[in-house]
Structure 1
């Protein structure tokens, strides 16, 4: 028997506050950390919402302004604009309010404000575990309204508008120090967005489990995340308004999103994540939707490559797993994922989101580079195999 050994690197996340009404803790968390000039960062939709008033009121006298220019896939010009606004108001903290776009916009802006170079053209989050001694930090408090879970990682994506290729930045200092999970802030999140980002969380849990870097902590978190999502995601959308039952289901989904990604700086993403990083900006497809489309097909591919790593996934889905003959269970997990996604009104094929058939191979080379850098599959992946997955997803 092999000896168990490994390393688990924690992020700089200090506090997670969760539950109905926890928005009010924002002012306390800012004050505890000495912040006096907090800039709230969100998108245009939430920028016109009454929910923004709740966040502003909770920030109290520490609020220095509101930036509403965050947009999907984090175009680099929005980061430039946020950097300029943060400097203009003298921000000593930023509060991201919304989904993954404002959260990653804050990370990329913070990176530049700390002296980092803008616009990495690759997605390589290995630097998230590299310490930078004595360097400046920007306080980030995240208040998410979707299940993308970007708030729990020290890396953020950004898109080069000229090429529509997504890259990213990563550094331990980019981790939000505080995350406030208040389901009452999610009541205006469109059903398709809530459901599809829930599938993004499922994608995190699954790909963390069959990563070559998986370990007992990440496996345990992934199993629980899958179980919570399959139990609570559909009911969270079956009532309307701020009904107490709906909010309880929603906070359970928020906790599932947290568990799904909490160890991902250790495991890193797999093929589904790499595909999503490039499908999203190339054809303007939300990342949650890319997971709805690609995850079952990648799971079937991985069932042939590393079926033995599907144990935690099978446990989460309630599938019997035989470690001596794991392939059938691994394939059943892929089928369960596809059936679960099919319960929601979300796209499940590339053709459903307007991707031209003749163009799908355009991204394969960039995806292959990311897959090789991440090195999570445990086998050589070819360009032809990636194109086959894209064809199956079409």
Structure 2
């Protein structure tokens, strides 16, 4: 099991051999998650992939685990904001199934934001992880379990920073203020979905299992978020929550201008459609075929997704493979 195994395994071995007292990451969310997993593994005397799986969520998880003691410092160059959470994801090299590492996993003790540094982050990474942060906001605001007035307030404020900021970054990658706006928005987005006990949905759940198929963390949100919103609305799961987010978005001046440029009839557009237009304006792919995931992968993807906690907590819970396939058919 690994999160980018060619990085994790050598780093874990070296950290253990030199008895490292600090882990430092400079990069995107995969490196941050990798550091969290390394710290957890070091604290629990793990040496093999099979032993590592006993630290992940699932039937093989150990009943007793030690908390990580080695601190982590992260300098992120993306917007997925994994630096602000105490969980991580890792992929099994053989099954290509992604596992979730939760308590007692710990995130970085120090995060350094540099809006000038991230201006050199390639557009696909910057914008895609930005949409991942938007996904944090939307699935928090559309959740029906564990939400609080505080989580809603944080998510709405984050959306108000992220969407105009991302659209401005798309036009002008030298705009330092826009990059900082996105960074701060991503922090609040993660705070929203980790405050209290918010139960996220299938955009995150299915997206976790797209990662092992070579799809970037942010790219999964480009493709899945609008479709998951449409699926939940069609199954009458969270219409009121979606309506609130829709109204919030169309009041934003920047969003309104984008919708007008696409000749969108706002009155007849649901949340899924509005999100689709925003993502298209950022020139992001909108289908699985555009990220080289064909129909031959759908069955396995659907089966693996059913194990993910966020598919189980989706407003319309995904309990059968056919439900996951219904969502995937929208974006195949």
TM band (smaller chain): 0.7 to 0.9
- The aligned counterpart of 1:295 is 225
CA distance in 1, matches of 2:114, 2:105: 24
Equivalent pair of 1:121/1:160 in contact (CA under 8 Å): no
Equivalent residue in structure 2 for 1:113, among 39, 42, 50: 42
Q: Name the residue aligned to 2:186.
A: 257
Q: Which moved more, 1:333-342 or 1:88-97?
A: 88-97
SS where residue 233 of structure 1 aligns? helix
The answer to whether 1:307 aligns with 2:239 is: yes
Mapping 1:151-162, distance limit 5 Å: 151-162=83-94
Which secondary structure does the structure 2 equivalent of 1:263 belong to? helix
Greater shift after overlay, 80-89 or 227-236? 80-89
> 1:329-340 to 2 correspondence within 5 Å?
332-340=270-278
SS of residue paired to 1:146: coil
Partner Cα separation in structure 2 for residue 262 and residue 156 of structure 1: 15
Q: CA RMSD in A?
A: 2.8
Instruction: Give the TM-score of the pair, scaled to structure 1.
Output: 0.71
Shift of 1:286: 0.5
Distance in 2 (CA, whole Å) between partners of 1:379 and 1:213 is: 15
2:281 match: 343
**Which deviates more, 265-274 or 193-202?**
265-274
1:141 maps to: 73
Query: Which one of the candidate residues 216, 233, 251 is aligned to 2:166?
Result: 233
Is this contact kept in 2: 1:121–1:167, CA < 8 A? no
Once residues 350 and 364 of structure 1 are traced to their aligned partners in structure 2, the CA distance between those partners, rounded to angstroms, is: 13
In structure 2, what is the Cα distance between the partners aligned to 1:121 and 1:364? 24
**Structure 2 matches for 1:33-182, cutoff 5 A?**
74-76=3-5, 78-115=7-44, 117=46, 118-120=51-53, 124=57, 135-182=67-114
2:201 to 252, 270, 278: 270
Tell me the residue number matched to 2:331: 393
CA shift, 1:187, in A, is: 1.9
Partners of 2:306 and 2:318 within 8 A in 1: no
Whole-angstrom distance in 1 between the partners of 2:276 and 2:54? 32
Check the 8 A contact 1:114/1:136 in 2, yes or no.
yes
Moved more, 166-175 or 152-161: 166-175
How many Å apart are 1:173 and its aligned residue?
A: 4.7
**Is 358-367 or 337-346 further displaced after alignment?**
358-367
Aligned residue among 184, 192, 210 for 1:279:
210
Separation in structure 1 between the aligned mates of residue 31 and residue 206 of structure 2, nearest angstrom: 21
**Conserved 8 A contact 2:222-2:286:** yes
1:221 to 151, 154, 161: 154
Find the aligned partners of 2:138 and 2:323 in 1 and give their Cα distance. Answer: 20
Is contact 1:124–1:373 with CA below 8 Å preserved after alignment? no
Query: Could you say what secondary structure the match of 1:183 adopts?
Result: coil
Question: In the TM superposition, what is the alpha-carbon distance from 1:238 to its structure 2 partner?
Answer: 2.0
Instruction: Return the offset for 1:269.
Output: 2.9
Structure-2 change in CA distance of 1:145 and 1:372 (3 Å): closer
- Structure 2 vs 1, CA of residues 147 and 95 (structure 1 numbering), >3 Å: closer, same or farther? same
- Say whether 1:207 aligns with 2:131: no
Deviates more, 1:350-359 or 1:195-204: 350-359
What secondary structure is seen at the aligned counterpart in 2 of 1:392?
helix
Q: Deviations over 1:293-326 (max 9, x none)?
A: 1110001112232112225523541359xxxxxx
- Determine the C-alpha separation between the residues in 2 that align with 1:99 and 1:249: 19
Q: CA deviation at 1:104?
A: 0.7
Higher strand share: 1
1:175-228 Cα offsets, whole Å, 9 max, x none, are 212221111221221011111111111111111122222211111111111121
